[in-house]
Amino acid sequence: MADAKYSMTDVRNAFKKKDAWWTVYLVDPVAARLMLPLANHTRITPNQLTLSAFACGLISAFCFYRGTYSWILAGAVLYHLSFTLDCMDGKVSRLKGTGSVFGAWLDYALDRTRVAICAFALMLGQYGQTGDIAFFYLAALVCFLDSTRYMNSLLVYKSLNTMRHKLGADNSEEFLREVIARHPSYLPIRTFLLKRRVRLHLVSGIEFQMFVFILAPVFGLIPEGTVASSILMVLFESAVIYKLWLMTLDYRRQLRSKLEGA
Q: Helical H runs in the chain?
A: 8-13, 21-22, 28-41, 46-66, 69-96, 101-130, 134-167, 172-181, 186-194, 205-210, 216-218, 222-261
Mean pLDDT value across residues 4-26: 89
Q: Can you say whether residue 68 is alpha, beta or left, with left for phi > 0 and alpha for psi between -120 and 50 degrees?
A: beta
What is the number of domains present in the chain?
Answer: 1
Residue 69 resides in a domain: yes
Residue 59 resides in a domain: yes
> Is pLDDT of 1 > 50?
no
CATH of the domain at 67: 1.20.120.1760
Angstrom distance (rounded) from CA 20 to CA 90: 14
| Closest CA relative to residue 235, chosen from 260, 202, 206, 257 | 202
Residue 209 resides in a domain: yes
The torsion angles phi and psi of 133, rounded to 5 degrees, stand at: -70, -15
Q: How many CB atoms lie within 10 A of CB 175?
A: 21
Q: Residue 23 has what DSSP assignment?
A: I
pTM comes to: 0.88
Q: Between 200 and 226, whose confidence is greater? A: 226
Q: Between 211 and 2, whose confidence is greater? A: 211
Residue 199 resides in a domain: yes
Residue 71 resides in a domain: yes
Residue 29 resides in a domain: yes
> Is pLDDT of 124 > 80?
yes
Residue 3 resides in a domain: no
> Is pLDDT of 97 > 90?
no
Angstrom distance (rounded) from CA 142 to CA 148: 10
Band of the pLDDT at 132, cuts 50, 70, 90? very high
Band of the pLDDT at 36, cuts 50, 70, 90? confident
Angstrom distance (rounded) from CA 60 to CA 167: 47
Question: For residue 49, what are the domain limits?
Answer: 8-261
> Is pLDDT of 177 > 60?
no
Residue 167 resides in a domain: yes
Q: Residue 171 has what DSSP assignment?
A: G
